[in-house]
Amino acid sequence: MKIGINNMENLNIEIMKITDLDGVYEVEKNSFENHWSKKSLEDDLKNEVSIYLVAKIYDKVVGYMGAWKIIDEAHITNIAVLKEYRGKKIGEALLKEMINTCKDNKINSMTLEVRVSNLVAQNLYKKFGFKFSGIRKEYYSDNKEDAIIMWNDLKVV
């Protein structure tokens, strides 16, 4: 999908390829203190249930998103955009394309966990129909932070 937003005429959302791994790892390191290793990302990309998208400007990976397809549900594993590219609707473009990809794959609902403190990500998810459905206490091992569980019923969107 090619989209021009905020003067980024060359922003593309694409299915991730193994050649995007280094770029995705840079986004991951740039975005999370407790980030996935390159090996974990590579292994997950090769997992047959995984769906990975990358946001690229020309050939530079500026964001990525991952999900697992489990029967007719998608579990979002991650979404991240390089700090210097945030606030330019790249996260939104990734999530929109992931929702479309899920619908094309006969997925009926999507779910995720998000830190209670991560209001930016919660806002993004709410904007695209995700709803609060519960709390997982002390879900994050680094600081024992609770996770909010969100669901998006794609059949009613």
Residue 23's CB is within 10 A of a number of other CB atoms, namely 20
Question: Could you tell me the smallest distance in angstroms from the CB atom of residue 107 to ligand COA?
Answer: 19
C-beta of 38 vs 106, nearer to ligand COA: 38
C-beta of 31 vs 108, nearer to ligand COA: 31
Number of residues that bind ligand COA (CB under 6 A): 18
Q: Is 145 in the site for ligand COA (CB under 6 A)?
A: no
Which residue in this structure is represented by tokens 């840079």? 26
**Is 113 a residue of the active site?**
yes
Q: Is 87 in the site for ligand COA (CB under 6 A)?
A: yes
Q: Is 124 in the site for ligand COA (CB under 6 A)?
A: yes
* Pairing outcome for strands 145-153 and 131-140: antiparallel
Exactly one of 21, 53, 110, 121 binds ligand COA (CB under 6 A); that residue is 121
**Is 97 a residue of the active site?**
no
Handedness of CA 138, 45, 102, 108 (dihedral sign): negative
CB 4 within 8 A of CB 42: no
Which residue in this structure is represented by tokens 């929702």? 99
